[in-house]
Amino acid sequence: MFGFWGKLLDIDLSKGAVRVSEVPEEVFRKFVGGRGLATWVLWRELGSKWELVDPLSPDNIFLVLTGPLTGYYPGIKLVVSGKSPQCGGVVGSTLSSEIGVELKSAGYDGLILRGCSETPVYVYVDNDGAQIRDATSLWGLGGLKLADKLNSLLRMDVKVELGLDTLPSYIYIGPSGENLVRTSVVMSKLTHAAGYGGYGAVMGSKKVKAIVVKGYGALPRVSNEDRVLKLRKEILSELSSRMRVFRYWGTTEGLWYTGYVTSSEPVKNWMEEWHNVRSFTHEEIERKCWIKNLWSDWGCPTSCMKVSRVFDGIKSYVSDGPDYEMGAYLGSNLGVFDVVSVVKLSALADELGLCGIQTGNVLGFAIELFEKGYLTKEDVGCELRWGNVDCITRVLHDIAYKRGIGALLAEGTYRAALKLGERYGVNLLRYAVQVKGVAVGAHGIRSGLDYPQKIAYAGSVQGGDHTSTAGVPLKSTESEVFTAFLDSAVICFFNSVDAKKLVDYLNAVTGWGFNEEDIYVSGSRILAVQRVLLLLGGPDVFWDPRIHDDNPERFYEPLPSGPKKGEAPRREEVRRDLVSYYEELGWDELGIPREETLLKLGIGELAREVKRIRARVRH
């Protein structure tokens, strides 16, 4: 076994028991690692009763996983997963966190957390195994205070008699995760978040505030050392030269570019996707907020993050750019076109452990309802109008602590739309810009200049996730099959290179002898299992492919402004693309994997779950 250990640390929080689960190499060959491995573990453990498992109950499993390329390939990503409290399927949610490398240095490929602790705890992992430690004093803390307190607690774990070593790394949740908010994230280092899926709430439901890892050993041996070193060097130099502009601006550049040039930025709950506000740009943020222009994570030459700060006289707020998604969703989407406020709102979302995308989306939805008269000042407590930063700030807190209207919005856009719609006896889903319970990322499809695939979100197994979109041709770096592979290998999308080189790298590390075709085979296998679990869904949401494999209603309204004014996809075009996409994957016209496809992919046992979907969809 090269490149990984074949070991997961399996922690039962209800029993306080820790054991090591062995994963055979065969499983890695089929599911690669990361997202794929998560899919395999969840299917095997929960597949037979999937629809009944409440994601926020002790029955759910929380996973923290690395992949075979973690640590060897430039950059660092970590996958967290479980049954998603947003879509009821599996989302392989990624974030930058050094614990990926710490885990491998500690001798494990990942962690399984099951059951639920009675009192708040944090999990401490090193080469000697795991300890479940009391976290009563940490419960309730936001990002900044937690970092301060936990770092000083963890200084005790650094044995100074052995010389001054670095502190362990960790992932954690903010107050919103503790309060089981469905738009909450798993955080690391104040600003990194695994947002899609809502796994902050899963950690919260298990009463786990943080997972701390310190690894003392080396990464596992690779199959061909010389080849790995050579490829590593080549890719480092490719990335450091290719990335000059991206390094300078990071994704913050999108605030202007995605709005003005590609016309695909959410503006006021997606009523528009274009703006020409010259003060809402990366240059403006650099001038007013950046205090450090380059900030990177473990092993990454790209360095796309920045440290930005605003000071409001009482308190300073720190954010990492903000990156484009946060900036767009907490900025233009809410009618906030002032960069200082955007940095402040991004920092607040991070502090509370809220997903900038999911929460920015539900806030935009709520503001639109307020402007349309469905929500009133009595409901909200303030004038929730476009650009009213004070009121938005207040509601952001209300969501994290589930106060007043916040309790409803904390359910995420889809569930909030259903509940409010019921209250008023109208269909409010037409204002909910989400797919299968997951709010779409800040890249619209209407202009065709940014995300050209009309089925990007409609056909994704991770709903509105903009980092895992569907598309044709299947065998290209544009397709979800490829993303599934990246998230399983596990490497950062921004640091990705061509498929041939990636396969080369994977083979040098693992010794597997994959060819390019195998990327798409393993990707297809992972997507098939994800698709089946997504369609099983439950317990409170079920997806009917005929209804829910579609764009949000809003995406069919013609763009009212910008270079592509009047553009919108046609429904029959979307339907046609979906069917041909499914056909390529070996799925039927409803997007249910065919039996022969399952057999070909070596996952024939999945037919048992497919039968249950067919029985439900028939009715």
Partner 1 sequence: MRDYSRCVGCRLCEIECSLKHEGLIWPAASRIRIHESVYGFPVPYLCVQCDDYPCVSSCPTKALSVAETGAVLVSEDLCVLCGSCINACPGRIPRIVRGKKAVIVCDLCGGSPACVEVCESMGFNALRLVRKPGGEVVKAYLNDPVETSRDLAKKLGVL
Q: Which residues bind partner 1 (CB under 8 A)?
A: 71-72, 98, 101, 105, 127, 147, 151, 155, 160-167, 189-191, 215-219, 221, 225, 229, 236-237, 240, 291-292, 294-301, 303, 307, 309, 311, 316, 318, 320
Dist. CA 544–CA 536, nearest whole Å: 10
Nearest approach in angstroms of CB 299 to partner 1 is 6
Instruction: Closer to partner 1 by CB, 20 or 147: give it.
Output: 147
Dist. CA 385–CA 227, nearest whole Å: 57
Nearest approach in angstroms of CB 76 to partner 1 is 9
Question: How many other C-beta atoms lie within 10 A of the C-beta of residue 145?
Answer: 12
Nearest approach in angstroms of CB 499 to partner 1 is 24
Residue holding tokens 């990361």? 34
Nearest approach in angstroms of CB 92 to partner 1 is 24
Under 8 Å CB-to-CB from 78, ≥6 apart: which residues? 64, 65, 66, 70, 94, 95, 96, 97, 99, 100, 171, 188, 194, 490
Nearest approach in angstroms of CB 20 to partner 1 is 19
Instruction: Closer to partner 1 by CB, 276 or 316: give it.
Output: 316
Nearest approach in angstroms of CB 507 to partner 1 is 18
Under 8 Å CB-to-CB from 100, ≥6 apart: which residues? 66, 70, 71, 76, 77, 78, 298, 490
At 62, which helix (H) or strand (E)? Answer: strand 61-65
Nearest approach in angstroms of CB 517 to partner 1 is 29
Work out the end-to-end distance of the chain between its first and last CA atoms, rounded to an integer number of angstroms.
47
Nearest approach in angstroms of CB 511 to partner 1 is 17
For residue 546, give the 3-state DSSP assignment: helix
Instruction: Closer to partner 1 by CB, 180 or 310: give it.
Output: 310
Structure tokens at 280: 């809402």
Nearest approach in angstroms of CB 331 to partner 1 is 21
Instruction: Closer to partner 1 by CB, 297 or 398: give it.
Output: 297
Structure tokens at 230: 């050579």
Instruction: Closer to partner 1 by CB, 72 or 505: give it.
Output: 72
Cα pseudo-dihedral 239, 236, 109, 184, rounded to 10: -30
Nearest approach in angstroms of CB 490 to partner 1 is 15
For residue 117, give the 3-state DSSP assignment: coil
Tell me the CA distances in angstroms from 516 to 467, 476, 483, one per residue in order: 21, 10, 14
User: DSSP E strands: which ranges in 450-493?
Assistant: none
Nearest approach in angstroms of CB 155 to partner 1 is 8
Dist. CA 208–CA 131, nearest whole Å: 12
Nearest approach in angstroms of CB 147 to partner 1 is 7
Tell me the CA distances in angstroms from 383 to 122, 270, 342, 378, one per residue in order: 39, 20, 19, 9
Dist. CA 386–CA 542, nearest whole Å: 33
For residue 431, give the 3-state DSSP assignment: helix
Instruction: Closer to partner 1 by CB, 300 or 559: give it.
Output: 300
Dist. CA 236–CA 219, nearest whole Å: 19
Instruction: Closer to partner 1 by CB, 85 or 299: give it.
Output: 299
CA 81 remoteness from chain centre: 9
Nearest approach in angstroms of CB 240 to partner 1 is 5
Sign of CA dihedral 116, 117, 118, 122: negative
91: left (phi over 0), alpha (psi -120 to 50) or beta: beta
Instruction: Closer to partner 1 by CB, 155 or 546: give it.
Output: 155
- Is residue 532 within 8 Å of 516, Cβ to Cβ? no
Instruction: Closer to partner 1 by CB, 48 or 127: give it.
Output: 127
Instruction: Closer to partner 1 by CB, 191 or 341: give it.
Output: 191
Instruction: Closer to partner 1 by CB, 304 or 433: give it.
Output: 304
User: DSSP E strands: which ranges in 328-456?
Assistant: 434-435, 438-439
Instruction: Closer to partner 1 by CB, 165 or 573: give it.
Output: 165
Dist. CA 84–CA 196, nearest whole Å: 9
Helix, strand, coil fractions of the chain, as percent rounded to 5: 45, 15, 40
Nearest approach in angstroms of CB 328 to partner 1 is 22
Dist. CA 62–CA 111, nearest whole Å: 8
Instruction: Closer to partner 1 by CB, 155 or 608: give it.
Output: 155
CA 432 remoteness from chain centre: 19
CA 555 remoteness from chain centre: 22
438-439 and 434-435: which strand pairing?
antiparallel
Structure tokens at 132: 């479940």
Instruction: Closer to partner 1 by CB, 126 or 272: give it.
Output: 126
Dist. CA 362–CA 333, nearest whole Å: 10
Instruction: Closer to partner 1 by CB, 21 or 131: give it.
Output: 131
- Is residue 72 within 8 Å of 300, Cβ to Cβ? no
- The order of strands in the sheet holding 305-311 is 290-295, 305-311, 316-319
Nearest approach in angstroms of CB 250 to partner 1 is 12
